[in-house]
Amino acid sequence: MDYKPTKKNFRHYMYFLFGQQFSMLGSLIVSFVITWWLTIETGSAVILSISVFLMFIPQIVVTPFSGVLSDRWNKKAIIAISDSMQAIVTFLLFAFFLFDIKNVWLVLGINTFRAGLYAFQYPTVQSLIPTMVPKDNLSRINGFNFLFSGLIYSIGPIIAATLLAFFPASQIFLLDIITFGIALIPLILIKIPKIHQVLTEEATEKSFMKDFKTGLLTIKMIPGLFAMIAFAMIWNFIHRPWAVLMPYFVKYTHDGSAFDLALLMAMAQLGNILGSLIMSIKKTWKHKIKINIIGASFFFICQIPAILAPKGNFILMIIVLFPAWIILPITVSTYLAILQTVVSKDKIGRIMSIDHMISMAIAPIGALIAGPLAEFIGIVNLFLLFAILGVIHPFLIWFFTKIRQLEIIDQEYMKETEEIPEEIIEIVEIIE
């Protein structure tokens, strides 16, 4: 019998989500400090590219395995262990800086290991949503996730830039350890359903590779699902130069400071918050695939005038990019809602990990070539080239793949849920 999340599960998930925001805040501050330190210390676009490339490698290598484990192991233990390890690694970084051991490659290595821990944890955290949140609230809770993370990502860079003006990097790193302690409290107290034991009693007898292949087969059997994941992969590749070289663009193209970079990042998250509020208010969304196609193209259309902005005109950049920042959480939330709807709960961890792996498959290449290309053809020309590709590629995906079939499947699911009155659903949940 299919497991259905209860209201108690939902409350526990919200407690968990609240605690994770503190952990996210600490990690974000540390990441900002590390990135800005590398920008100032090296002044090299290539080093920034290598940094992001190394951070992507664990996501490609680790995520497929962590997805299978998230379906078979204790989810609470996986999250607790990965968070604890990240706190320990951050403390080591603090110790190195405290004793003036500030080797660039050592910092890159630690940053890569932190990314590996995130890759290990990510599928498990994502798999909690469909196991603890009722189906009719999936789009809304994805919006809440963006809303809360948007708030954190808004204040995080500002806090980091402010702290850099008054404290050395080593002392700022300690914040990650403090926020980890806060996040650990709700994680210990909540109860997470063991869906893999309820739905698949024979799962422990299967081989690890067979579980992974089952995830691949599931993607293959759902029409249009692989096309949607490939669409995300191409988007991540095209967006990579902008994401990787933004600190370099601010510092060396526009003569900006850490506060200018923090302002751009904060305003981006303010846009994400507005988009998340829209997702949270509107309960159901039709034509999710079309929203993704149009939203992805629109995002890059907004980038073009920002790329061509006069030197130091960060206000103009914010104005033209703000609509793109609003549409981004809407597209990602509807994307996740589709995955969480069409995939069964006992396989969701594997599918989330495979989705993450494929979506990020060529992103490391985009990150690695961004720096050398920026130094060869100029960072503005590089940004323009990739922005134009970003405008075109969503429509190619729509017309030349099976992604439109996934739109049909989603519409059929919407009709099925609309036929069942909410009062009946609530009565069934109470009985169960």
Band (pLDDT 50/70/90 cuts) for residue 198 is very low
Q: What percent of the chain has pLDDT over 70?
A: 76
* 320-345 confidence digits (pLDDT tens): 999 998 888 888 877 777 777 767 66
User: In the chain, where are the structural domains located?
Assistant: 7-431
Q: Is pLDDT above 90 for 38?
A: no
Give the distance, in angstroms, between the CA of residue 405 and the centroid of all CA atoms in the same chain: 25
* 111-160 confidence digits (pLDDT tens): 888 888 777 777 777 777 767 777 666 666 766 776 777 677 778 888 88
| Average pLDDT value over all residues in the chain | 77
Lowest mean pLDDT, pick from 5-19, 22-36, 158-172: 5-19
Band (pLDDT 50/70/90 cuts) for residue 207 is low
Mean pLDDT (whole number) for 346-373: 76
Note whether 405 and 222 are within 8 A (CB).
no
Q: Is pLDDT above 80 for 214?
A: no
> Smallest Cα–Cα separation from 147: which of 262, 243, 269?
269
Mean pLDDT (whole number) for 51-56: 81
Identify the pLDDT of residue 31. Answer: 84
How many CB atoms sit inside 10 A of residue 418's CB? 9
Identify the pLDDT of residue 323. Answer: 92
The answer to pTM > 0.85 is no
Distance (Å, rounded) from C-alpha 316 to C-alpha 308? Answer: 10
Query: Structurally, what CATH architecture does the domain formed by 7-431 represent?
Result: Up-down Bundle (1.20)
Any idea of the CA torsion for 249, 250, 251, 256, to the nearest 10 degrees?
Answer: 160
Any idea of the CA torsion for 338, 343, 344, 347, to the nearest 10 degrees?
Answer: -130
Mean pLDDT (whole number) for 56-63: 73
* 206: three-class secondary structure by DSSP: coil
* 118: three-class secondary structure by DSSP: helix
Identify the pLDDT of residue 201. Answer: 44
